[in-house]
Amino acid sequence: MNSDFVKLAIAPIGWTNDDMPELGDENSFQQCISEMALAGFKGSEVGSKYPRSPALLKPALELRGLQICNAWFSTFFADGRREQTVEEFKQTLEFLHSMGAKVIGCSEQSGSIQGLPQPVYGEKIIFNDLQWQRVAEGYNLIAELAAEKGMSVCLHHHMGTGIQTPAEIDRFMEVVSHNVFLLYDTGHVYASELTQQAVVNVLEKHLARIRHVHLKDCRDEVLRQVKDKQQSFMTGVRQGMFTVPGDGVIDFAPVFELLDKSGYRGWMVVEAEQDPSKANPLEYALKARKFIRDQTGL
């Protein structure tokens, strides 16, 4: 891969989990970004401990040779909360634009069970036609707002949401405009379908509209335990269903090959939420960085 076109980042969720702040509560913002730089990464997404003032955040990152490449944003279009979602989107967009980011990763959270105690492999929301229409209209609107600032909206498909499975990803990409893009997440595709083939198929099908990539590996035995014991998404994270690339079951060779051949330009972000008390963040960041270097030359 060409380092002029593809940049490597890592997400702070390996240091402190935004959804479960007690995981990594002891890890400070300064430690997090220092260890990211020490491990050899050039970018970061935004975590809950990051100052939201560019005047504070920029100098801290620049000291370490880091830049912000994306931040999570929750949308609630299917629920009919269009006005509220758009207003909050504008604020996040303004912040990311001021930090120099080119994408904003959005997850449709209407009816999501990812933060609830119910089984993640149980009954998840299935959008009806009206909800899909609301989602399409909402994403088309925020994509236009982002485009005005030279940025792209990317849908982050996610376990426990209405856009989780390959079929749901396909439908989303069909109903939205072509200036709405995909945030492709290896771990969430694998976790949804429990097959390597799904990881490759989703990437292959939507290559032309992928603007951001999350590199996440899976521990198959933990995922199957989560499924068999009807455990929640958060329980699965605590138990280590996700890990860094090269430490789990996913074969990343075809992923890197497809991205390279397609001429992908953008960030590849290691995003592997684990319990930092069990998986030392710096150790796993170094492990991920070595794996990516060995696989891609980056």
Q: Express each pLDDT in 101-142 by its tens digit.
A: 999 999 999 999 999 999 999 999 999 999 999 999 999 999
The model's pLDDT over 276-286, given as tens digits with 9 standing for 90+, comes to: 999 999 999 99
Rounded to the nearest 10 degrees, the angle between the axes of helix 253-261 and helix 196-206 is: 10
Nearest alpha carbon to residue 203 among 185, 227, 225, 177 = 185
* φ, ψ of residue 96 in degrees (nearest 5): -65, -40
Domains of the chain and any CATH numbers: 6-296 (3.20.20.150)
* pLDDT of amino acid 24: 65
CB 264 within 8 A of CB 4: no
* pLDDT of amino acid 16: 86
* pLDDT of amino acid 22: 80
- What's the whole-number mean pLDDT along residues 284-295? 98
DSSP 8-class letter at 121: T
* pLDDT of amino acid 21: 73
- What's the whole-number mean pLDDT along residues 70-97? 98
- What's the whole-number mean pLDDT along residues 201-210? 98
The whole model's pTM is what?
0.97
The one-letter code for the residue type at 9 is A
- What's the whole-number mean pLDDT along residues 71-92? 98
The model's pLDDT over 18-49, given as tens digits with 9 standing for 90+, comes to: 778 787 688 899 999 999 999 999 999 999 99
- What's the whole-number mean pLDDT along residues 67-84? 98
- What's the whole-number mean pLDDT along residues 57-67? 98
